[in-house]
Structure 1
């Protein structure tokens, strides 16, 4: 009981809540919530280095190194994005990870020019992203929903052939298309779809990871898992900068820089999704600019430490919207766990031993979900003649160019690198058409 002479000790409101961006909840709640974010993004984060390493023919040791780097860099990037570093970082509960969006462009670069060239181009792309973040108020008009949604659809659809190549056993597999590859991939698909649709809470959110682990265990029982690199991998090691190397070639830099600029639209969408879904408000200009700058500088850091470009992970934005847990310190704890995982090479060696067909069963769903997310982004726009034309020309270009081998064989090398994947010209067409097609012409507003 208090008296009039005794000051009342008031507890700051919601300081221990998970529904406040700046709140630090009790560790007994924060740690499991942070681990949940890590589990939701873990498979996607390590898949990119596995796919590119497989296409480029890297050794098991090099693949393990790049998996380790992907975990370490994602953890550091998440800490910077959530906690902030000066003007860098949104200071929001945003989980960072290796971007799938660069895979269609980086694979031909890694195969034709080498992985060091791909990393050099990625470093330059990171610089471009950071500059976009710095000047974001002046360039945001380039990325309306009709552009960003179409761009995300293109990413998902262009990744589909890669996913099905892994279902068949992976690039260059001697037993490509063998029955056991199909059966393992089907098992992963069934488990993942079942948990995603009928599981509750964390089981639904972890469905890709559980499906992958199930396929891995079955493959292990039947002798399809290769642990050849596990014995030689150390228990603990610090990531070494430039272990793979970095090389700079203009033909590789141009397409990656263009893609990096367009990819900023995806970052903007994730930041908006985080604040609207978790805090029921629009992000501030400082949050948007700091978030995109963090993506860019994290991508530069990633290239130095043998990893690929970093970006906010949409599935974790979905977790924030679903749970309402918007404490940035919860996500920072998850980032800390990723850093620790990146210091354990044996964990990377185990992951590199996952059979390609098991991985394929998981990534096909992920790639489909990426395309579905793009369709969802388009749901808020008006499907008039103008917007339909933008989508039609962009998708036709992005999907048609890669389908016809030799179509652009007469182009200079620099242009060939830009059009090779189809993603860059498709994205550029979306941006240019959005700028030049009239928005207020009555004829263009007529629904089709």
Structure 2
């Protein structure tokens, strides 16, 4: 369907969505389950992303040599901003927000770029670059209908597939006890992760109703109970944390360094591909339909302006969290109001440090047993998206080259050791070279006679 008639496209998607949700209300993004179900399902989303959301400020704070109090402040702001961004993304404000079950959080994709900036120019330069980079993302979202030629199904499906594949090593790092753990890979970590994995799969596949929908939450709770006698539950941070603290804008400050702005803005524009992939994965995995152009445009705009808002409050760029895309696909609960409740919990966690400290006490291995399932579901959602593209030799080459670059380059960093640092960190991410390759090949390779020039999300 041509993008020259977006209203027609959106109405057809709405008709398809209505057909699906008449069969299963849980697949309806506008369905509001009873609170007794919605609240724990929302908390389940928070548990899936909480540690990852806190990891980025911890890494950057260590690089910048911040004090303990400043580090706690960065973690607190990461929670508060993620909650606000999630509310905007799920509930919407005017044209902003996809109005889909999308959990927002601190992007790992920016970490390789932000580390050298934080070490050399300081955190204010990071936040100044993030402010400008967020505005650049918002412009991409605003112009999405014109730019959608860059993101047909073969490209967006490849993005989602790459996201799932590249996140799997992160998930297995959790399984081993977390990166940097002194006893990484110890049997107790592996057994705990295996327990959570088995419980999650068992409840998801062999139970019905709420027990199936909350499989990840149940798996993590069982893991926490099992971790207690192992001595893996540490509540010392809860005792040390305060009860209430308001967010403080400009606490860290802003500085506009040209090199920092260029590096972070480039990353922000490329990250739009990840955002589009996550939005598409959420719509397909949760609502069992393709996203509309309005959802994609509003979602990317919300990502960008949320990142600029985050910079003002001492938080890092925001992006839809891929593990929660997997959680939506895994549970089959596509209600945006469930995720909005999770966003409210994140705001509360940002205002009440003790609450955030309590959630962060979950052992890494317990989370690992659940997230490897979610990340695998993201990759399978990418395969499902690719099924809407014809697998002729042209499209197979696009997918194959993108996979080769995204997986091969990070594994052999010696190939680009002589490159400038900013180029090196872009190549090391894997996702950026893979995404750029799929976009460029889609533009330059000739189309086959049986391959229509689809310029937007394909219709199933």
TM-score with structure 2 setting the length: 0.77
Q: How many residues align?
A: 415
Contact 2:43 2:342 in 1 (8 A): no
Indicate whether 1:381 and 2:389 are aligned.
yes
1:28-427 aligned at under 5 Å gives the runs 30-32=34-36, 34-52=38-56, 58=62, 65-66=73-74, 68-90=76-98, 92-98=99-105, 102-103=107-108, 105-109=109-113, 111-114=115-118, 116=123, 122-241=130-249, 249-250=260-261, 252-253=263-264, 255-266=266-277, 268-269=279-280, 273=284, 277=288, 283=292, 285-305=293-313, 306-311=315-320, 313-314=324-325, 318=329, 322=332, 332-427=340-435
CA spacing shift, 1:19–1:428, aligned 2, 3 Å: closer
Which ranges in structure 2 are unaligned for 5 or more consecutive residues? 1-24, 454-460
2:216 and 2:287 map into 1 onto residues whose CA distance is: 26
1:444 and 1:173 map into 2 onto residues whose CA distance is: 51
2:395 and 2:430 map into 1 onto residues whose CA distance is: 20
Larger mean CA deviation between 215-224 and 234-243 belongs to 234-243
1:94-118 CA-partner distances (Å, limit 9, x unpaired): 343226xx42x33434555449476
1:330 and 1:339 map into 2 onto residues whose CA distance is: 15
Which ranges in structure 1 are unaligned for 5 or more consecutive residues? 1-17
1:281 and 1:57 map into 2 onto residues whose CA distance is: 39
1:287: Cα distance to partner? 4.6
CA spacing shift, 1:363–1:294, aligned 2, 3 Å: same
Contact 2:103 2:339 in 1 (8 A): no
Contact 1:133 1:292 in 2 (8 A): yes
1:432: Cα distance to partner? 0.3
CA spacing shift, 1:20–1:397, aligned 2, 3 Å: closer
Which residue of structure 2 lines up, in the alignment, with residue 5 of structure 1? Answer: none
CA spacing shift, 1:333–1:193, aligned 2, 3 Å: closer
1:323-356 CA-partner distances (Å, limit 9, x unpaired): 686xx66665554344334322112112222222
Contact 1:167 1:358 in 2 (8 A): yes
RMSD: 3.6
1:428: Cα distance to partner? 0.3
1:147: Cα distance to partner? 0.7
CA spacing shift, 1:397–1:239, aligned 2, 3 Å: same
1:431: Cα distance to partner? 0.2
Contact 1:251 1:414 in 2 (8 A): no
Contact 2:398 2:438 in 1 (8 A): yes
1:267-299 CA-partner distances (Å, limit 9, x unpaired): 55257549964xx8974x545433331222122
1:159 and 1:301 map into 2 onto residues whose CA distance is: 26
Contact 1:118 1:252 in 2 (8 A): no
